[in-house]
């Protein structure tokens, strides 16, 4: 099965930049364009309530799935995982 989702950013420099972009830049631009910055702040806030990509991958593998492929997008905030049942 495939998963494309947003996760907490890691601690690398690009990940930290992505976190800053998601928390500060995106809501400001969203406020200018749509007049509603809250909707764009919600994304960063909701990501903080979930596990990181590495923990997610480990949980799925613990449930009997094998990682086939993974790719990181959007400065470490968005991940694609492809798993298959073992």
> What would the pLDDT profile of 1-15 be if each residue is shown by its tens digit?
999 998 887 788 888
Q: In terms of pTM, does the model score above 0.95?
A: no
CA angle 30, 35, 41 (to 5 degrees): 45
pLDDT surpasses 80 at 65: yes
Q: In the prediction, which pLDDT does 58 show?
A: 97
Q: In the prediction, which pLDDT does 56 show?
A: 95
In contact, 10 and 76? CB cutoff 8 Å:
yes
Q: How sure is the predictor about 68, in pLDDT bands with cuts at 50, 70 and 90?
A: very high
Q: In the prediction, which pLDDT does 19 show?
A: 85
pLDDT surpasses 90 at 18: no
């Amino acid at each position: 099965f495939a998963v494309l989702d947003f996760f907490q950013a890691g601690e690398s420099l690009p990940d930290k930049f992505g976190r800053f972009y998601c928390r500060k830049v995106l809501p400001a631009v969203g406020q200018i364009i749509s007049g509603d910055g809250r909707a764009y702040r919600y994304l960063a806030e909701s990501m903080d309530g979930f596990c990181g990509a590495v923990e997610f991958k480990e949980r799925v593998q613990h449930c009997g799935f094998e990682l086939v492929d993974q790719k990181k997008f959007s400065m470490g905030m968005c991940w694609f995982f492809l798993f298959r049942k073992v």
